[in-house]
């Protein structure tokens, strides 16, 4: 604990004003708990789902679609924003080797763009995959190749996945594919795509989603406003730097505010969306070597967005384009105006976001803003989406620990850390980085809601928080 600093006490302290942390606060307030503090190091609520505003143009941290099968989450979202939460019909394509493929893939489109030979190749490799003997797949690559054949894997999965994760698909665990693509009947997709299915709707390839008119972050800023009006305290631009524990009880946290002030917060119960590995590193007294070594073995993918203001009314019709081509570094390009017209102040302009998945240790992470903007602009030009002279402004957002990585062999370390977390009597690790899970917003939000219910010992509790998202039935980026 830091000596001689201000100290405050609350019943519940929530670290992270992202969907998970706000899910906790929502449920606590709903059940009468008022003495709550939410702390976040950012200046805006929303976490990875926040919306930054630059010169009146609104940019999310990459494209954020709101879609859930969870009725409670759906209700929270709709209750929060009402008519400001609007349906959007999805249109997105895959860019691969100078061609734009419709997504979900369509038969005629694939035939035309791959040509007769290419399509025959796809079909033969698919048939070969169906006829070959199948062992239990261990890697992502094996999982997809067994289901789809090598050619479709190489065209529609390999390069994008490797850009996102930064490791070869044969080093990514099959559990990731199984988690993210579980409900997706790939055979059906393939039949639809190449043999012309009878337009049977594949529920996993969501065609409609909801979106707040002012960007994803509007949802969480509004949730925050409502919580604050009900007595919750919100402390932004404040970073937790230490968790003080006594045995398995977290007694307090040390917080460093952006103005340099340090404070100490005591609470009966802590809920944390701090990345799991960081939590263990911040514990005082320190954890065992075994725990610290396992924490070192958790890996994350960091993320850069280059946000561009384009002086043109219409640039492309997609909400986002998956960029599978290996000859450009970006993995995805989004056009926020196609999510909501209100994302730009001036209707004659367009806000684009070019995403780079990277590691803090990579060269790219340490490049200047000028370099990154020039790279993004040259790649957009190469894809014939814009002309250099149309770019009026640019802004760069660097986000650490954006994607928890499920690499082969991380499981034992992860299991050890999970069981250590479960020994703490007044601490829940929640959300995407907090649980080291490839969560969407809904999974994170519900992890917070259920953690609050566990604390309150509400009927149905204790909920198995680690199991959230294991049964995810839709896929963000097939
Ligand atoms: C590029 C991209 C695209 C995505 N697209 C979608 C999509 O289309 N649909 C969808 O549903 N989901 C999408 N997601 C996932 C979604 O953003 C996350 O699931 C969600 O934001 C996770 O919420 P969370 O609260 O668990 O974590 P976060 O959003 O990461 O929030 C955690 C919060 O904790 C704070 N924090 C961390 N450490 C500290 C500390 N030491 N002190 C104080 N505060 C701290 C952070 O500042 C942050 O605000 C996407 C994510 C990314 C990166």
Residue 40 near ligand 1, beta carbon < 6 Å: yes
Say if ligand 1 is within 6 A of residue 110 CB. Answer: no
Q: Nearest-CA neighbor of 153 among 120, 197, 186?
A: 186
SS3 159: helix
Give me the torsion for CA of 137, 143, 146, 150, rounded to 10°: -130
pLDDT tens for the chain, residues 1 to 478: 555 678 999 999 999 999 999 999 999 999 999 999 999 999 999 999 999 999 999 999 999 999 999 999 999 999 999 999 999 999 999 998 888 988 877 767 877 888 888 888 888 998 898 888 778 888 989 988 988 889 888 888 899 899 999 999 999 888 777 666 654 555 565 555 555 544 444 444 568 999 999 999 999 999 999 999 999 999 999 999 999 999 999 999 999 999 999 999 999 999 999 999 999 999 999 999 999 999 999 999 999 999 999 999 999 999 999 999 999 999 999 999 999 999 999 999 999 999 999 999 989 999 999 999 999 999 999 999 999 999 999 999 999 999 999 888 899 999 999 999 999 999 999 999 999 998 999 999 999 999 999 999 999 999 999 998 765 443 333 3
Of 13, 18, 274, the one to substitute when testing ligand 1's pocket (max ligand atoms within 8 A of C-beta) is: 18
Closest CA to 276 of 459, 118, 401: 401
CA 448 – ligand 1 centroid, Å: 13
Q: What distance in Å separates the CA atoms of residue 449 and residue 453, rounded to the nearest whole number? A: 6
Beta pairing partners, 427: 270
Question: Residue 160 CB: number of other CB atoms within 10 A?
Answer: 23
- Tokens 């979202």 correspond to 77
Question: 48 C-alpha to center of ligand 1: Å?
Answer: 3
Dist. CA 301 → ligand 1 center (Å): 13
> Residue 19 C-alpha to ligand 1 middle, in angstroms?
7
Please, what are the domains in the chain? 6-48+69-86+216-297+407-467 (3.50.50.60), 105-202 (no CATH)
Ligand 1 pocket check for 432: Cβ under 6 Å: yes
| Ligand 1 and 21: CB distance under 6 A | yes
Q: Cα–Cα distance between 81 and 83 in angstroms, integer?
A: 6
Mutate to test the pocket of ligand 1, among 301, 353, 441, 472 (most ligand atoms within 8 A of CB): 441
Question: Which candidate, 233, 255, 259, 281, places its Cα nearest to that of 5?
Answer: 255
Which atom number of ligand 1 is nearest to the Cα of residue 48? 29
Return d(Cα 149, Cα 140) in angstroms, integer.
Answer: 13
Alpha helices (H) in 182-270, listed in sequence order = 186-190, 216-229
Ligand 1 atom 35 nearest Cα:
16
Alpha carbon distance 267, 271 (integer Å): 10
- Alpha-carbon distance of 18 to 220, in angstroms, equals 7
Nearest CA to ligand 1 atom 49: 47
Kindly give the distance from the C-alpha atom of residue 262 to the centroid of ligand 1, in angstroms, as a whole number: 25
Q: Which residues contact 245 (CB under 8 A, 6 or more apart)?
A: 251, 283, 284, 285, 424
Contacts of 430 (CB under 8 A, 6+ apart): 16, 20, 21, 23, 24, 271, 272, 273, 444, 447, 448, 451, 465
Quote the pTM value.
0.93
């Amino acid at each position: 604990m830091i000596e001689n600093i201000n100290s405050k006490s609350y019943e519940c302290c929530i670290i992270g004003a992202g969907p998970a942390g706000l899910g906790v606060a929502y449920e606590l307030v709903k059940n009468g708990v008022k003495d709550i503090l939410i702390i976040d190091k950012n200046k805006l609520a929303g976490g990875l789902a926040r919306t930054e505003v630059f010169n009146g143009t609104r940019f999310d941290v990459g494209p954020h679609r709101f879609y859930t099968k969870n009725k409670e989450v759906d209700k929270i979202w709709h209750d929060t924003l009402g008519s400001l939460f609007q349906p959007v019909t999805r249109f997105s394509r895959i860019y691969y080797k100078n061609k734009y493929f419709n997504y979900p893939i369509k038969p005629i489109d694939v035939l035309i763009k791959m040509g007769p030979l290419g399509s025959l190749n796809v079909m033969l490799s698919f048939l070969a995959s169906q006829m070959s003997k199948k062992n239990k797949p261990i890697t992502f690559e094996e999982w997809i190749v067994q289901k789809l054949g090598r050619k479709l894997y190489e065209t529609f999965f390999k390069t994008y996945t490797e850009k996102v994760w930064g490791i070869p698909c044969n080093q990514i665990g099959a559990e990731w594919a199984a988690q993210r693509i579980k409900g997706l009947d790939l055979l059906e997709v393939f039949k639809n795509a190449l043999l012309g299915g009878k337009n049977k709707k594949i529920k996993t390839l969501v065609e409609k989603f909801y979106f707040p008119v002012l960007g994803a972050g509007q949802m969480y800023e509004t949730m925050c406003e409502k919580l604050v009006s009900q007595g919750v305290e919100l402390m932004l631009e404040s970073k937790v730097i230490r968790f003080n524990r006594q045995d398995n009880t977290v007694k307090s946290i040390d917080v460093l505010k952006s103005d340099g002030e340090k404070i100490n917060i005591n609470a009966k119960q802590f809920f944390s969306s701090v990345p799991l590995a960081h939590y263990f590193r911040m514990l005082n007294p320190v954890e065992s070597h075994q725990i610290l070594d396992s924490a070192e073995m958790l890996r994350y993918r960091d993320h850069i967005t280059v946000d561009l203001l384009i002086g043109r009314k219409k640039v492309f019709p997609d909400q986002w384009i998956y960029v599978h081509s290996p000859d450009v570094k970006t993995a995805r390009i989004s056009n926020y105006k196609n999510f909501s017209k209100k994302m730009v102040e001036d209707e004659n302009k367009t806000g684009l976001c070019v995403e780079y998945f990277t590691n803090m240790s990579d060269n790219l992470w340490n490049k200047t803003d000028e370099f990154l903007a020039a790279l993004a602009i040259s790649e957009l030009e190469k894809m014939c989406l814009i002309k250099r002279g149309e770019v009026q402004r640019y802004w760069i957002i660097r986000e650490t620990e954006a994607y928890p990585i499920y690499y082969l062999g991380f499981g034992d370390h992860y299991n050890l850390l999970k069981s250590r977390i479960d020994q703490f009597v007044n601490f829940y690790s929640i959300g995407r980085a907090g649980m080291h899970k490839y969560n969407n917003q809904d999974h994170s939000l519900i992890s917070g809601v259920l953690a609050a219910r566990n604390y309150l010992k509400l009927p149905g509790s204790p909920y198995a928080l680690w199991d959230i998202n294991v049964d995810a039935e839709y896929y963000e980026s097939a």
